[in-house]
């Protein structure tokens, strides 16, 4: 069983690196991408993810910052973050 590592904002590092960072980058780049699309007709964001999202557990926001260390499995958290990415990208695509 791996130790749970937390960042300065009290969220698990795996969640920060695998989900929150790419989403933040996307949100920061979105205005530029929209201007580019308006000028040149197209702009894209491509996310590469993993099929491990099929192994993810149902989303539980309480486990983002305070996981049960007895149940913590690094690969499970990795799979969960891949599902978060898929869900957020689908939501973003529907809004566009």
pLDDT tens sequence across 22-48:
889 988 998 999 999 999 998 888 888
> What pLDDT score was predicted for residue 66?
57
Contact 77, 12 (CB under 8 A): yes
> H helices within 4-73, ranges in order?
13-15, 21-40
pLDDT for residue 84 is more than 80: yes
pLDDT-based confidence at residue 8 (cuts at 50, 70, 90): confident
Average pLDDT, the chain: 81
Q: Per-domain residue ranges for the chain?
A: 13-95
C-alpha–C-alpha distance, residues 96 and 33, integer Å = 13
């Amino acid at each position: 069983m791996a130790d749970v590592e937390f960042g300065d904002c009290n969220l698990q590092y795996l969640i920060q690196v695998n989900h929150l960072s790419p989403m933040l980058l996307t949100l920061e780049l979105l205005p530029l991408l929209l201007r580019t699309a308006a000028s040149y007709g197209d702009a894209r964001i491509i996310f590469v993810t993993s099929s491990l999202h099929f192994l993810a557990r149902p989303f539980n926001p309480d486990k983002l910052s305070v996981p049960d260390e007895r149940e913590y499995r690094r690969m499970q958290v990795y799979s969960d973050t891949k599902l978060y990415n898929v869900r957020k990208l689908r939501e973003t695509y529907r809004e566009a």
